[in-house]
Structure 1
């Protein structure tokens, strides 16, 4: 599935990049800019960033569950990430309406 139409980046490419970042440091904070930098791309319209954040959360959670981390470690970490997303602007998507999201 195509996630970023501006750069033609697929969901699989994003997921593979997230996993490679997690292999380097499993507890690092991964943000869309870090994923795009690794892919040698940059956010243009940034309309895909909310979907990339959701992918980061899902892949990170799956990664830690697969590698035997207990839920006592995973849940507080991801809740903090979700809280930051809500605190720092998940309400306004670059001036787009809430029904603009592709996925």
Structure 2
């Protein structure tokens, strides 16, 4: 599935890059900018970043589920990331107010 149409990045490309980053350090914080940097790309319109974040969370969960890490560590870390995303991620969209109209 095509995730980023600006850079022509597929979901499989993202998954491979995220797994490569996790192989380097399984507990590092992976954000879209780090993934794009590892792929030698850059966010242009950044409309794909919410989908990239969901892919990062999914792949990280699967990666740690296959590893020998303690389940308590994995769940608490990922739940905290989800809470922060809900708390900060949905307040505004591109810094526009709800009633903003471009036309």
Number of residue pairs matched?
A: 96
5 Å matches for 1:19-30? 19-30=19-30
Q: Secondary structure at the match of 2:3?
A: strand
- Uncovered stretches (5+) of structure 2, i.e. residues with no partner: 99-103
Alignment RMSD: 1.5
2:70 aligns to what? 70
* TM-score normalised by the chain length of structure 1: 0.86
CA distance in 2, matches of 1:54, 1:64: 16
Q: CA deviation at 1:88?
A: 2.2
Cα deviation code 1:64-99 (max 9, x no counterpart): 01012222010010011112212222343435x9xx
Alignment deviations for residues 38-85 of structure 1 (CA, whole Å, 9 cap, x no partner): 011111111100000000000001000101222201001001111221
Q: After alignment, is 4-13 or 68-77 more displaced?
A: 68-77
